[in-house]
Structure 1
Amino acid sequence: MFRTAIKMAPTSASDIPSLNLLYKLNKLKVSELGPLKGASPVHNDRIGLFHGDITTLSVDAIVNAANTSLLGGGGVDGAIHRAAGPGLLAECRTLGGCPTGSSKITSGYNLPCNKVIHTVGPIYDYTQATESEKDLRNCYLSSLELATQNGVKTIAFSAISTGVYDYPSEDAAHVACDTVRKYMDGDDTKSLDKVIFVTFEKKDYMAYSSLLPHHFPPSVPASQDQDNITRGQAVEAEVKASHLPNVPTTDPADSGHVPKKRSQVSGE
């Protein structure tokens, strides 16, 4: 049975609350793990967290959890291809595929974003966890490097490999946060204005909510931060948050459900 997708208004990068704002509103809690060694709040205004449909984001680039063919598949990969239209598939056919851990960039076509960065995550192997982590880390690093090379200022990452590729959500969130933080630590020219972690499934949202404070701790204790925020700032922030779209209850941009198979041709 096919469903008609509900077209949602695009959400800009500036509409998505930064970590600093989430801390001020007490919507992000201090990590029980404490801050990671070397972690600081210096990037908190440049990091965002969005729980919803990545195909609705009006940013410079979104990162697609693609498969090696780059020709579309299930999950977020299929959703991005459906929302972008046939032009995306036509361009992807010219790219000759992409190996695991690498990334390639295309135009966004009918999507509200300007570019799509396609990265191929690993199918998680518990017996070769170190190799899986290396491949996943390379996905984020190669995507960030492509973004910088192409003048991308705002970039939104899907939760790579945590769907049918079975990468544990908490482990994947740790790799994503750690790789982005280290890249931004070395970003001397501050080429990236905002990096947004996008989650669709609740398990991924919970993983990022738990681990972001570990990698990007608040600048001051949460209680003190709340004391410093003015009533006007709080109202403005709540209004901004209330205007974000609700989390969809079906696959993003899904016009019908096709059973997912765990293979390198299904994406995510």
Structure 2
Amino acid sequence: MIRVWLGDITRLTVDAIVNAANETLLGGGGVDGAIHHAAGPALLEECRRIGGCPTGEARITGGYGLPARHVIHTVGPVWRGGDQGEDELLASAYRNSLMLAREHGVASIAFPAISTGIYGFPPDRAARIAVETIRVHGESLQVTLVAFDHAAARYLEEALG
């Protein structure tokens, strides 16, 4: 099941939330900063021990101060015009997050719109890639696609059809 939810991902009670992280995993702006702030300093300490994450891959940590038990950190691509493998890297970020979720017994997971903020990925294109990838690789999971505003929610709803 896939649903769209408009709101703050840090407040969702799910098994895992996905963090649209940077390669250092040490926090940043947007959803990354919000997740680190809500989880507290223990999340940063665990991320330091992990030592980073390449674009398209994912890592899992505890949820600490969040209602979610786990945070799955994934690094989406920076948009460079669409001819630098961005679509496949974005799909890989979703796919690897879903794989980690299954490996850790996660039944419910929430995703932000990966790469659509400061990384500049076109939100309509990113929504289609997210939904297509989740439909193929997230069949047994309850998936919430979290929109931060009404425009993002509309792109996600359109991608769901």
Supply the distance in 2 between the matched residues of 1:203 and 1:151 (Cα, whole angstroms). Answer: 32
Q: Answer yes or no: is 1:67 the counterpart of 2:22.
A: yes
- Aligned residue for 1:203? 151
Moved over 4 A (4+): none
- Aligned residue for 1:147? 101
Supply the distance in 1 between the matched residues of 2:83 and 2:57 (Cα, whole angstroms). Answer: 19
Supply the distance in 2 between the matched residues of 1:197 and 1:59 (Cα, whole angstroms). Answer: 12
Post-superposition shift, 1:71? 0.2
TM-score by length of 2: 0.97
TM-score by length of 1: 0.59
- Aligned residue for 2:81? 126
Number of aligned positions between the proteins: 161
Post-superposition shift, 1:209? 1.6
Which is bigger in relative contact order (C-alpha 8 A, separation at least 6)?
A: 1
Supply the distance in 1 between the matched residues of 2:28 and 2:151 (Cα, whole angstroms). Answer: 21
Which structure has greater strand proportion? 2
Supply the distance in 2 between the matched residues of 1:103 and 1:162 (Cα, whole angstroms). Answer: 17
Post-superposition shift, 1:197? 0.4
Paired residue secondary structure (1:93): helix
Q: 2:52 corresponds to which letter in structure 1?
A: G
Match of 1:100 among 48, 55, 61: 55
1:1-268 to 2 correspondences below 5 Å: 46-126=1-81, 128=83, 131-184=85-138, 187=139, 190=140, 192=141, 194-213=142-161
Supply the distance in 2 between the matched residues of 1:105 and 1:126 (Cα, whole angstroms). Answer: 30
Where in structure 2 are there 5+ consecutive unaligned residues?
Answer: none
- Aligned residue for 1:221? none
Paired residue secondary structure (2:130): helix
Supply the distance in 2 between the matched residues of 1:140 and 1:72 (Cα, whole angstroms). Answer: 19
Change (3 A) 1:157 1:127: closer
- Aligned residue for 1:225? none
Where in structure 1 are there 5+ consecutive unaligned residues?
Answer: 1-45, 214-268
Post-superposition shift, 1:127? 5.1
Structure with higher Rg: it is 1
Change (3 A) 1:47 1:71: same
Supply the distance in 1 between the matched residues of 2:73 and 2:40 (Cα, whole angstroms). Answer: 15
